[in-house]
C-alpha cells in the first residue's frame, strides 16, 4: 500500500488572501483585553504627551499590548516585541501597526 499525505497549502500569495484575524474566537481573552482598554478613560495619560519629534504609538494600543502580555506572563520587552511580529493575537491588538513601521 502506498503512503499518501495531505498536500500542504502553497506559500504563494493568493488573489484573495484569507483574513487571519477572523480566526480569533469571539470569546478569546484578547478580545476582552481590547474591550476593557477601549472602555477606560486615559485622558490623564494622553495629557503627558507634549508633541513634537517623531509621532508616537497611541497609548491605548500600548496599554492593550502590556495588559495582554502580562496576562500571558510575558514581561520581557524583547519577548513582547517578538510576539508583536509572530503572534496573531498581538498583531490584532496592535492593528498590525508594529509590522508596518518596522519596529
The whole-number pLDDT of residue 100 equals 53
3-state secondary structure of 27: coil
The whole-number pLDDT of residue 82 equals 95
Task: Please tell me the number of Cα atoms within 13 Å of 47 on its side-chain side.
Answer: 4
The whole-number pLDDT of residue 3 equals 85
Question: Tens of pLDDT along the chain (103 residues)?
Answer: 888 777 776 677 666 677 888 889 999 999 999 999 999 999 999 999 888 888 888 999 999 999 999 999 999 999 999 999 999 999 999 998 875 554 5
**So where are the chain's domains?**
26-40+57-101
The answer to whether the CB of 36 falls within 8 A of the CB of 60 is: no
The whole-number pLDDT of residue 26 equals 95
The whole-number pLDDT of residue 38 equals 97
How many other C-beta atoms can be found within 10 angstroms of the C-beta atom of residue 45? 13
Query: Which CA distances in Å does 47 have to 21, 51, 87?
Result: 32, 10, 31
Sign of CA dihedral 80, 57, 63, 48: positive
CA dist., res. 33 & res. 35, Å (int): 5
CA dist., res. 55 & res. 34, Å (int): 22
Amino acid at each position: 500500500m502506498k503512503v499518501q499525505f495531505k498536500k500542504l497549502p502553497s506559500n504563494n500569495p493568493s488573489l484573495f488572501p484569507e483574513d487571519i484575524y477572523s480566526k480569533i474566537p469571539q470569546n478569546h481573552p484578547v478580545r476582552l483585553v481590547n474591550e476593557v482598554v477601549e472602555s477606560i478613560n486615559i485622558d490623564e495619560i494622553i495629557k503627558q504627551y507634549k508633541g513634537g519629534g517623531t509621532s508616537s504609538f497611541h497609548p491605548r494600543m500600548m496599554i492593550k499590548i502590556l495588559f495582554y502580555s502580562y496576562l500571558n506572563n510575558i514581561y520581557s520587552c524583547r519577548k513582547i516585541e517578538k510576539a508583536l511580529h509572530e503572534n496573531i493575537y498581538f498583531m490584532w491588538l496592535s492593528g498590525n501597526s508594529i509590522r508596518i513601521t518596522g519596529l
